[in-house]
């Protein structure tokens, strides 16, 4: 039972709170505020009433400020939700493979405005593809712990709003590339959106263990877009770098799938680590890793590339192969997930592609021929 105050019959806690509030107010205004059992003079009562009106005004102003704050936070929250739909961190990785290719195509520093324009168009294009992906995958995102906080799962963004947003980004990015960069880049950008939104997301992801292999083609397109932005066409160096990313994608993504295997299983997504054992996945990772490293070395005679790129490609590629083989060895002896440590390869794969493409950009600036 609740303890009652002896003089008023009100809950003691509530009375104390009321007294505390009265004490605070009285202290601020110099007006004595008394309870019903001990009323002061008429002047005191009038003073209390006047003060109560003032308190109401203050509370009204506070409520107005809170409402404005909530509204402001709501706008910021909505903007943040739509930005999240574009998967900004993935966009960053895609742009890492765009700009260096432009340096190689130019064999020097490209026009600064062309770089900026290509980055803007590429960001809008990738954002469109990623938003379409989130719209279609919202059902499985809700089943996966890793993706359960995405805006379409939490309700921070509406499906209708996301679709409109994706369509607008597609149109704007395509028109931007066509008018500001060139038509070839616009066509490749639009193709990349279709490949990711339809090819990977709708056709492959839920149907085959090879989903990330062939679906990963969309992620290779920035190499072609970067080259075409400078030259207006696609040539062999761009194709080789396209293939580097093609071979890189599985050993980059499968370690992540190994880590979140239960998530994909709960969502009925047939990622290779869900359908096959770790040893089989390890063999596949090693095979694709070798194909990636050998393809990266093929760029040396074709571009041609000098010592800077050659050294980075050999050293970074060697470390990648060492880590891939380590994972396979542990998997072959039946190692536990804690022993496999697949995220080591996942994180290094990001460092690898960053270092390799940084070398692609630097090599033509300080070209030191091998022969």
- Averaged pLDDT for residues 229-248: 98
Question: Is residue 244 situated within a structural domain?
Answer: no
With a cut of 90, say whether residue 63 has pLDDT above it.
Answer: no
Distance CA 51, CA 30 (A): 10
| Partner residues linked to 11 by β-bridges | 4
Based on the domain organization, do 273 and 224 belong to the same domain? no
Count of domains for the chain = 3
CATH number at residue 95: 1.10.357.140
Q: How many percent of the chain have pLDDT more than 90?
A: 76
Least confident of 69-78, 149-158, 250-259, 300-309: 69-78
With a cut of 90, say whether residue 62 has pLDDT above it.
Answer: no
Question: Is residue 160 situated within a structural domain?
Answer: yes
Distance CA 75, CA 87 (A): 19
Question: Is residue 81 situated within a structural domain?
Answer: no
Residue 216 pLDDT class (50, 70, 90 cuts): very high
Placement of tokens 């959106």 in the chain: 193
> Taking all residues of the chain, what is their mean pLDDT, rounded to a whole number?
85
9-44: burial string, b at 16+ Cβ within 10 Å, e else: eeeeeebeeeeeebeebbeeeebebeeeeeeeeeee
With a cut of 70, say whether residue 339 has pLDDT above it.
Answer: yes
Residue 32 pLDDT class (50, 70, 90 cuts): very low
Contact 246, 334 (CB under 8 A): no
Distance CA 108, CA 105 (A): 8
In tens, the pLDDT along 266-277 reads 999 999 999 999
Question: Is residue 78 situated within a structural domain?
Answer: no
Question: Is residue 341 situated within a structural domain?
Answer: yes
The domain in which residue 165 lies consists of 86-232
Please state the pTM of the whole predicted model: 0.80
Domain end among 73, 102, 123: 73
Question: Is residue 1 situated within a structural domain?
Answer: no
Distance CA 245, CA 227 (A): 15
Question: Is residue 242 situated within a structural domain?
Answer: no
pLDDT at 95: 84
- Averaged pLDDT for residues 98-117: 97
Based on the domain organization, do 192 and 139 belong to the same domain? yes
Based on the domain organization, do 60 and 121 belong to the same domain? no
With a cut of 50, say whether residue 24 has pLDDT above it.
Answer: no
Residue 93 pLDDT class (50, 70, 90 cuts): confident
Using DSSP's 3-state secondary structure scheme, residue 11 falls into strand
Residue 54 pLDDT class (50, 70, 90 cuts): very low
Peptide bond preceding 179 in cis form (omega within 30 of 0): no
> Closest Cα to residue 31, out of 18, 19, 44?
44
Backbone angles phi, psi at 275, to 5 degrees: -90, -25
Q: How far is CA 236 from the centre of its chain?
A: 31
pLDDT at 94: 82
Contact 99, 145 (CB under 8 A): no
With a cut of 90, say whether residue 205 has pLDDT above it.
Answer: yes
Q: Burial of 224 by CB count in 10 Å (0-12 exposed, 13-18 middle, 19+ buried)?
A: buried
pLDDT at 73: 58
Based on the domain organization, do 124 and 210 belong to the same domain? yes
Domain end among 165, 200, 232: 232
Question: Is residue 68 situated within a structural domain?
Answer: yes
DSSP of 90-158: HHHHHHHTTHHHHHHHHTSPPPHHHHHHHHHHHHHHHHHHHHHHHHHTHHHHTT-GGGTTSHHHHTSS-
For residue 271, what are the CA distances in angstroms to 182, 194, 219, 327, 363? 37, 21, 17, 18, 37
pLDDT at 64: 46
Q: Which two tokens stand for residue 231?
A: 């030259």
Based on the domain organization, do 124 and 211 belong to the same domain? yes
Based on the domain organization, do 174 and 96 belong to the same domain? yes
Distance CA 136, CA 163 (A): 10
Contact 151, 81 (CB under 8 A): yes
Q: How many percent of the chain have pLDDT more than 70?
A: 80
In tens, the pLDDT along 142-183 reads 999 989 999 999 999 999 999 999 999 999 999 999 999 999
pLDDT at 254: 97
Based on the domain organization, do 148 and 170 belong to the same domain? yes
């Amino acid at each position: 039972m609740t303890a009652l105050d002896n003089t008023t019959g009100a809950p003691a806690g509530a009375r104390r709170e009321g007294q505390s509030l009265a004490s605070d107010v009285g202290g601020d205004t110099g007006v004595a505020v008394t309870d019903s059992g001990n009323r002061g003079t008429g002047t005191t009562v009038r003073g209390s009433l006047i003060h109560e009106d003032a308190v109401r005004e203050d509370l009204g102003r506070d409520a107005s400020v809170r409402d404005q704050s909530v509204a402001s936070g709501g706008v910021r929250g909505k903007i943040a939700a739509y930005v999240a739909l574009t998967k900004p961190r993935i966009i960053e990785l895609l742009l890492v493979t765009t700009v260096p290719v432009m340096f190689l195509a130019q064999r020097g520093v490209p026009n600064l405005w062309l770089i900026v324009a290509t980055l803007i168009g590429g960001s809008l294009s990738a954002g469109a593809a990623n938003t379409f992906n989130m719209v279609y995958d919202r059902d499985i995102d809700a089943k996966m712990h890793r993706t359960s906080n995405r805006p379409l799962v939490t309700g921070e963004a509406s499906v209708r709003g996301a679709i409109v947003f994706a369509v607008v980004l597609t149109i704007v990015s395509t028109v931007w590339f066509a008018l500001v960069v060139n038509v070839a880049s616009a066509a490749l950008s639009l193709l990349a959106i279709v490949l990711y939104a339809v090819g990977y997301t709708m056709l492959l992801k839920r149907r085959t263990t090879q989903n990330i292999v062939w679906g990963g083609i969309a992620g290779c397109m920035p190499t072609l877009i970067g080259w075409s932005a400078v030259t207006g066409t696609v040539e062999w160096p761009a194709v080789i770098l396209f293939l580097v990313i093609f071979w890189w994608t599985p050993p980059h993504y499968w370690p992540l799938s190994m880590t979140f295997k239960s998530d994909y299983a709960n969502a009925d997504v047939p990622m290779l680590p869900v359908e096959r054992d770790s040893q089989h996945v390890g063999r596949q990772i090693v095979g694709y890793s070798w194909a990636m490293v050998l393809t990266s070395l093929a760029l040396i005679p074709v571009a041609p590339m000098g010592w800077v790129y050659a050294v980075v490609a050999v050293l970074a590629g060697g470390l990648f192969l060492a880590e891939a083989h380590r994972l396979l060895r542990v998997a072959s002896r039946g190692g536990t997930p804690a022993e496999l440590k697949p995220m080591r390869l996942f994180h290094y794969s990001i460092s690898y592609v960053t270092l390799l493409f940084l070398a692609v950009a630097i090599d033509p600036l300080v070209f030191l021929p091998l022969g």
